[in-house]
Chain A
Amino acid sequence: MASEEESAVKEPLDLIRLSLDERIYVKLRSDRELRGKLHAYDQHLNMILGDVEEVITTVEIDDETYEEILRSTKRTIPFLFVRGDGVILVSPPLRTA
């Protein structure tokens, strides 16, 4: 068990500190999502992630039916620096009880 100071969440960034070395979910601008292991971050939410899976979601309109078709493109990157100004939200790993 970590000391109280280490584990307490007093400000929002503490939640991210506790996610160090854990797989997190990051939602980015321009319909991008990342899942990867958090290795470093700073107060701008610049980050270095490892074993990253990026999903880009694009909407296409069917020419005839005008239906919206969601298409997601996946790729993996071993190590990625992410600039913080594109970050919309960061979610810590889901803890399974």
Chain B
Amino acid sequence: MGLSFYIYERSKLGGVIGGGLQLFFSYFKDLVGREVTVELKNDLAIRGTLHSVDQYLNIKLENTRVVDQDKYPHMLSVRNCFIRGSVVRYVQLPPEAVDIELLHDATRREARGG
């Protein structure tokens, strides 16, 4: 199931769920199960397996570890976490999960729709 499927779903449901465009929601749903590094606005970087994502780009990670454990020892025991979308600064993506052509197409479609 690819990005195009989710964009189709979006166009089908767009009116119902507020007409929001959701390129990145679809993209992150395709990324479920992959290892990502999420960098927060407070500079904490957490690496883990993407468990799920929602329309706000809230993220749930599993098997997490903090990248700089010496600086954040209080995070040592955190193995699963929910991250509020608004505190995310970056998500480092695995290169094998980036299909550039698909992203370009989806972006152009999104730009037309918006």
Q: Say yes or no for A43: interface residue by CB 8 A criterion.
A: yes
Contacting pair A39 B103 (CB below 8 A):
yes
Interface size on A, residues (CB 8 A): 23
Bound-state CA distance A35–B95 (Å) is: 17
Do A13 and B114 contact each other (CB < 8 Å), given the known contacts A41-B107, A78-B95? yes
Inter-chain contacts of B104 with A (CB < 8 A):
20-21, 39-40
Interface contacts (Cβ under 8 Å), in number, total 72
Q: Do A80 and B91 have beta carbons less than 8 Å apart?
A: yes
Fill in one digit per residue for A60-94: 1 if any B CB lies within 8 Å of its CB, else 0. Answer: 00000000000000000111111101100000000
Contact residues of A with B, CB < 8 Å?
Answer: 13, 17, 20-21, 28, 30, 39-43, 46, 48, 50, 77-83, 85-86
